Structure 1
Amino acid sequence: MVPDPGPPDKDQLFAEVTSGCTGLISRIAMSHEADPALRLELVQDILLAVWVALPSFRGDASLRTFVASIAQKRCVTHVARRAREPRQVELPPDLISAAQLPDEVAIGNDFKEKLAETIKKLPDPQREAIVLCFEGFSYGEVGEVLGISTNAAMLRCQRAKQSLKALMDPVPKVSQA
């Protein structure tokens, strides 16, 4: 009889998070923070929060759901904290950056870039739900992460999809002659 190895330790779980969930974390952070430097800090903050929370992971939900829940809550806290900070002076638009961040290079595709910008225009509840939906979470998992019912999660995702379609493919206005 083979002895039960027991639950994975914190280091093993964190290795799973860093190998399988960093894209998820980055995209959730991107949906809440536009500034690349602050987004990088937010991702690091989320990873630290995941590390601290890993001992409480019981396996009731998938590790991705656990990480997404932490990331979502950390992003909401980040946005609330940033809202209380004094506004910064905006840099001129013709200022050239020395280098692009890897996630910005990956979003070089025009459609993805437009989609990312359009998602930011959605109301917070719709944005939170659709980001998780695009990550492949079921409506039940979206509801679990956001603390709402499955039906409410489905409704938010459907409304977000309708809003995205309307914003990305506006119907041209016909001039009356």
Structure 2
Amino acid sequence: MATKAAKEQLFAEVSASCTRTITRIAFTHESDPMLRRELVQDIQLALWIALDGYRGAASLKTFATSVAQKRCMSHVARRAREPRQVALPVDLPCAAPPPDEVALRNEQKRRLDASIQLLPVPQREAIVLCFEGFSYGEMAAILGISANAVMLRCQRAKNRLRAIMERRPLI
């Protein structure tokens, strides 16, 4: 290719004589009209770039068709790697709880945490270990007291927490 003007003339020639062929080739590889238009534009861009290497060994139509075919094949390969998108039904159930329920739970947790802070330290220690899932025997070993003393502390802590939580909302 000698000059930019010669390249522009060749591109104008290709556009005038091969646009229908390029569009048909794109149609055989892409069924979505929007994606097909993009593919035709990609082919035209590829032709513009490839014209630098055009030496006239084959007809311009053969050259353009070859470029279009190769671009379509790379388009199909790229689309095959993309994840498929499926429209979800409007009534699709969600595994996560609704936001208002999450907010309510968070508020209850915050209130419970604040209420625990109001307990005497021995009851607070016992109830926290209870909430963590330790057995009375394990809590007794951790706290260095008897299992009966742990049960008594937990029972008193639960009763006091219930009274605090029912009495007033904490801020």
User: Normalising TM by the smaller chain, what interval?
Assistant: 0.3 to 0.5
Greater helix percent: which structure?
Answer: 2
**Structure with max Cα Rg:** 2
**Structure with higher RCO (Cα < 8 A, 6+ apart):** 1
Report the TM-score, using the length of structure 1 for normalisation.
0.46
